[in-house]
Structure 1
Amino acid sequence: MSGRHGGPGRVVVGVSGSLGSLAALRVAAEQARRGGRRLVAVIAWEPPEGEYLYLRHPDRAWAAHWEQEARQRLDGAFADAFGGLPLGVEVRTVAVRGRPGPALCTVAHRVDDLLVVGARTGAWRSRVRRYVLRHAECPVLTAPAPRAPKGVARELRRATAQDFALRV
């Protein structure tokens, strides 16, 4: 498959560090490996005070700090999911300032791209999934988060992504 910009489409994955996004990252890496495509991992970020307040009192150093924090979370997701970058896949990481849904649709703009998102319950994640399903110009694949066995929900609330990392 060849895109309107030349070359095969990419596999674009939304990463937040949640268990659902780590599952999506693993699925996306496998899809990229199988198809000989580039993996583009995207993390969206906004200033913690929100864009409106930031625009009233802009501070480039403050924004650069939060962008760096987002990039570190993205690197941490790769460490949690694979212990580093996945083997056999060309990887590009992108930190986009903005809301997750629009950011993912902006990056995955080619019709032959594949957009992968985690399928975990929760208002924020559901909002992102609903947004990309409505607005993406490419196919969307949802990857389910690991399911908890009955009776362990309390313990899982204290778990970290490292507890679910693949052991090699």
Structure 2
Amino acid sequence: MSEYRPPSAARVVVGVSGSLGSLTALGRAAYEARRRGAELWPVLAWEPPGGDQAARRFPASAAMVEEWERLARERLVGALREVFGGTDTGLPGQALVARGAPGWALVQIADRKDDILVVGAGRRGRLHRALSPSVGRYCLAHATCPVLAVPPSPLQAALAAVHRRNTWRLRLDTGDLQKEFETVPPDA
């Protein structure tokens, strides 16, 4: 990342997890930061497995907290490299690793009226929504600044279809795949 500036400039805060949807959101957040002349703040939020209560209850897992935080930092650096080719985004701002539930941490960091919070809005089925709370929905409900929910890249759906076909060992028709990629806009 570029050098740290005092927190007076407008910020584009973006949730990053390393998933394809979060990488798409990170790219869109960089675009928005450039367009607005704002700082880019990529944030990876993490929690100990089982949550903070479990980490407090079991002292052996408390010793692992440093390792989990190191792994979170590595995941954030990996996401920055994936999108920007390195850790320097070419924009002012600061990359953060925050301990806490992702939605809560993002809302706490994007706490200024001139901030913009960018989150990925992946396609989720009913079962997935029931078992795993949505970070995007939490941010939309609790943020005090504007929230930009970025839909997944159309390539993500094509990749998921190829993965399903491979899982079921079905024949892959590359002609259909080529048509799918031709319909994707060049900026996706």
For Structure 1 versus Structure 2, the TM-score category normalised by the shorter chain is: 0.7 to 0.9
Structure 2 residue aligned with 1:91: 93
Structure 2 residue aligned with 1:146: 153
Match of 2:140 among 133, 145, 149: 133
Q: Name stretches of at least 5 consecutive residues in structure 2 with no aligned partner.
A: 1-5, 167-188
Call closer, same or farther: CA 1:132–1:152 in 2, change over 3 Å: closer
The C-alpha deviation readout for 1:13-52, integer Å capped at 9, x for no partner, is 0001111100110011111112221111111111123222
Rounded to whole Å, the distance in 2 between the matches of 1:152 and 1:72 is 25
Rounded to whole Å, the distance in 2 between the matches of 1:153 and 1:104 is 28
Rounded to whole Å, the distance in 2 between the matches of 1:153 and 1:85 is 28
Rounded to whole Å, the distance in 2 between the matches of 1:152 and 1:67 is 30
Q: Which fold has the larger relative contact order, with Cα–Cα distance below 8 Å and residues 6 or more apart in sequence? A: 1
Q: 1:155: how far off?
A: 2.3
Q: 1:87: how far off?
A: 4.6
Structure 2 residue aligned with 1:166: none
Match of 1:116 among 115, 118, 132: 118
Supply the RMSD in Å over aligned alpha carbons.
2.6
TM-score (norm: length of structure 2): 0.73
Q: Secondary structure at the match of 2:103?
A: helix
Alignment check: 8 A CA contact 1:120 1:126 kept: no
Percent identity (aligned):
47
Structure 1 residue aligned with 2:44: 43
Task: Please tell me the residue identity of whatever aligns with 1:155.
Answer: V
Return structure 1 stretches of 4+ with deviation > 2 angstroms: 5-8, 57-61, 85-88, 122-126, 148-158
Rounded to whole Å, the distance in 1 between the matches of 2:87 and 2:73 is 14
TM-score (norm: length of structure 1): 0.81
Match status 1:29 vs 2:36? no
- Greater fraction of residues in helix: 2
Rounded to whole Å, the distance in 1 between the matches of 2:41 and 2:156 is 32
Rounded to whole Å, the distance in 1 between the matches of 2:91 and 2:143 is 24
Q: Name stretches of at least 5 consecutive residues in structure 1 with no aligned partner.
A: 159-168
Rounded to whole Å, the distance in 1 between the matches of 2:114 and 2:50 is 36
Structure 2 residue aligned with 1:104: 106
Q: Secondary structure at the match of 2:119?
A: strand
Task: Please tell me the residue identity of whatever aligns with 1:35.
Answer: R
Call closer, same or farther: CA 1:69–1:57 in 2, change over 3 Å: same
Alignment check: 8 A CA contact 1:12 1:108 kept: yes
Task: Please tell me the residue identity of whatever aligns with 1:97.
Answer: R
Structure 1 residue aligned with 2:19: 18
Match of 2:82 among 80, 83, 88: 80
The C-alpha deviation readout for 1:31-88, integer Å capped at 9, x for no partner, is 1112221111111111123222211124554111101101110111011112113553
Rounded to whole Å, the distance in 1 between the matches of 2:157 and 2:39 is 38
